[in-house]
Amino acid sequence: MIDKRAARSAAKERPDQWVIYSVRTGGEVWVGATPNLSAAENRLRFQLRMGSCIVPRLQAAHDGALQVERLEALPADLGPLARQERVKSTRAVWAERLGAVEMRR
């Protein structure tokens, strides 16, 4: 049996590992950033399945197939402001490199 309380506690204690990632569907590409890639992928799949994706263009392009790829991990020692700036610049670089649209919140 899984101890849900222990699993939840372990998940909260795990340090964030911010990554830049790409999402491909319907022949289009988006680039985003998240501290938890597996949670972001699960959330995105659910939103697309329910028709409630927060990125309308992504929802419109969705063809049933979804490919999520980790592109780059950001250094763990960045402070909040430095990380925010690094996310913006790195996401923009990857979007340009892939001919993608940036996903922003």
What pLDDT, in 10s, does the model give residues 1-29?
A: 778 888 777 777 777 789 999 999 999 99
**What is the pTM assigned to this prediction?**
0.85
Determine the pLDDT at residue 105.
Answer: 64
pLDDT at res. 104: 80
Q: Which of 10-14, 66-70, 101-105 has the highest mean pLDDT?
A: 66-70
Averaged pLDDT of the chain: 92
CATH for 16-102 is 3.40.1440.10
Q: pLDDT at position 5, please?
A: 86
Distance separating alpha carbons of residues 62 and 49, to the nearest angstrom: 9
Q: For tokens 């028709």, what's the residue?
A: 51
Q: Within its chain, how far is the Cα of 29 from the centroid? A: 13
- pLDDT tier at 96, thresholds 50, 70, 90: very high
pLDDT at 22: 98
27 phi, psi to nearest 5 deg: 75, 5
